[in-house]
Amino acid sequence: MILIAKILFFVSLTGIIHTYVLYPLLMILLHRVKGSSEKPGITQESDLPSVEIIFAAYNEEAVIAEKIKSSFLSHYPANKISLHLGSDRSSDGTDRIVAELQNDYPSLKITRFEERTGKSGIINQLVKNSEADLLILTDANIIFEKATIPTLVAGLNDPKTGAVGGSIQYRELYERGISKQENTYLQLENRLKEAESDLLKNAMGLEGGCYIIRRELFPQIPPLFFMEDFFVSLAVMEQGYQVLFDQNARCFEDVSTASTEEYKRKTRISIGNFQNLGRFKKLIWTRFYPLGFAFVSHKVLRWFTPFFLVLLLLCSVLLSAESRLFSLFSGIYFLFLSAGLFGILFSQSKSLSWLKYPGHFIHMNLALLRGFFIYIKGVKSNVWQPTTRNQN
């Protein structure tokens, strides 16, 4: 029993340290040594590919006008851009605002779905109806810079590249809530994806809010699927194409400051994580390096971190009687968990910001755990409510 506890303890500790410390540190340090790969300049050719911007929207009246205007006010030729959004039976002013903007933007299209369909089902239908050379998948709350679209298009100049992700950034941070903790996590993720893109030519997961893909490579997203962006990323890699990340293709969104909103969002993400693991697990051993190695190191071990955390707690308590080292670890671990719980309780406070970081980590893993059990139980619907952002 003691031997099993020791094995589980060290396996769990190694898994957490590898995915959150060793792998990111290794990739970022190697990237610094090698330097960033030269990114293609914004395309200036006369015969540019056509681009269609596609997204699903549900009750997005607060942001939909700004989203549409930022899409067409691009440095990319207006006659090469179209936008098609699917309204998932919106009950606010979303559809009316889009109809009014069609007078200014003739290539703006809207399809209203009379039954709640979910993001993946809407995207499947819109992609099926598209005739554009390239597709930009995005979200209603993601605002483009004027250079975003031409920068993404330039990233596909290499025929070996199937998709390119943009860099999403938060527009404003606040003392109240978890915006700074979310931003820290996002910036670290972007640095890691940039390193994977330059070193491995496989960025582990494009942000669904901003990426471009060759239309013929877009896969049919399975029914009731969450995290369709990661599904698309792995499906493109599975076909042998590069999936890259370009930090110069910038776009912006408002950050969520409420931990309850992020908890719901991360629960949905967790469900999609395990759906994708079920679909693409064979890549781990059939194409272990670099794809499988990055998949396990960056993603899979993180998804299992909630189980590692539980095992560490149980095993360290059990082994405390065996060794002072385990007893010391157990004490430190309890302090960390206590700090995390206080960080969750006081997440909306403007003070105690240092507690919010362990709180953010614990809350994220609780959401992962909840999403796993929903996945095991069976997903009945993937319709969604937009995350409420900027609650200040």
Residues in the chain: 392
pLDDT tens per residue across span 175-210: 667 778 888 898 999 999 999 999 999 999 898 999
Output the six-digit token pair for 86. 């699917």
Distance of CA 330 to CAs 285, 343, 364, Å?
A: 35, 20, 21
Angle at 193 between CA 156 and CA 128, to 5 degrees: 45
| Mean pLDDT on 240-255 | 93
Query: Residue 27 corresponds to which amino acid?
Result: M
What's 43's DSSP letter? P
Whole-angstrom CA distances from 274 to 227, 251, 267, 329 are: 10, 28, 11, 30
State the CATH number of the domain containing residue 45.
3.90.550.10
Distance CA 194, CA 183 (A): 16
How many domains does the chain divide into? 1
Give tens-digit pLDDT for 79-101.
Answer: 999 999 999 999 999 999 999 99
- Please name the residue ranges forming H helices in the chain: 2-17, 23-34, 64-72, 94-101, 119-129, 148-154, 179-200, 228-238, 259-280, 283-286, 293-294, 301-303, 305-319, 324-345, 353-377
What is the residue range of 61's domain?
1-392
**Residue 347: what pLDDT?**
77
Angle at 78 between CA 39 and CA 99, to 5 degrees: 125
Residue 307: both structure tokens together: 């189980």
Query: What pLDDT, in 10s, does the model give residues 209-233?
Result: 999 999 999 999 999 999 999 999 9
Measure the CA–CA gap between 83 and 88, rounded to whole angstroms: 16
For the chain, give the mean pLDDT.
Answer: 92
